[in-house]
Amino acid sequence: MTYLLAGIGLVLLIWAFVWIGINAPASRVVRWVKWGMVAFLVLVIVGLLAMGFFRPALLPGMLLFPILFPWRRKMAESFARRAAGQAQQPQSSGSMTYKEAAEILGVAPDAKDDEIKEAHRKLMTANHPDKGGSTWFASQLNQARDTLLGG
C-alpha cells in the first residue's frame, strides 16, 4: 500500500512539473526549479545534521551559497572599493546584451514586460542612490531595463 501511494504521489508530481513547464513562463519555471533545488539541498543538510553527519553536510551547504547569493561577490567588491576610497566605478563597454541585462535584473531573457518592470522597481527601491546605493549600479539597472524593454 505504501508503494502504491508513493507511486501515485510521484505520478502527480511529474504531472505537475509537466503542466508547469507547459503553461508557465520560462522565468517562473527557472525560479521554481532554483528554489526546488534550494529546498532539496536544505532538506539534505538538515537530514545529514539530524543523523550526526556534520562533515558531509558541509558540501551541500557550500552548494547553497552560489545559488542563493549570486550577487555576493559583486557586492563584496563594491564594499571593498568603498572602503579603499575608490569612487571610480567600473566602466561599461557601452552596449549590454539581453543575457547580461536579464542577469542584472534577475529575470529570464524572454521575461514579460511586467516582470521586467517589477524586478527593476524592486532593485531600484533597494539600491537607489538617494538611499545610499551606487549611482553606477542604478545606471546599470536602468540600462538593463531599457535593453530588455527595447529602448
pLDDT tens-place string over residues 97-136: 888 888 888 888 788 889 899 999 998 888 888 888 888 8
Statement to judge: residues 64 and 92 lie in one domain = no
pLDDT of residue 93: 53
- The tally of domains found in the chain comes to 2
Question: Which domain covers residue 19, as residue numbers?
Answer: 2-68
Statement to judge: residues 48 and 91 lie in one domain = no
Statement to judge: residues 52 and 96 lie in one domain = no
pLDDT of residue 151: 58
Statement to judge: residues 52 and 99 lie in one domain = no
Would 133 be classed as within a structural domain?
Answer: yes
Whole-model pTM over 0.85: no
Assess contact for 127 and 141: CB atoms under 8 A: yes
Q: What's the chain's Rg over C-alpha atoms?
A: 20
Give 42-57 pLDDT, tens digit per residue: 777 777 777 777 777 6
Assess contact for 25 and 108: CB atoms under 8 A: yes
| Residue 139 clears pLDDT 60, i.e. is over it | yes
Statement to judge: residues 50 and 107 lie in one domain = no
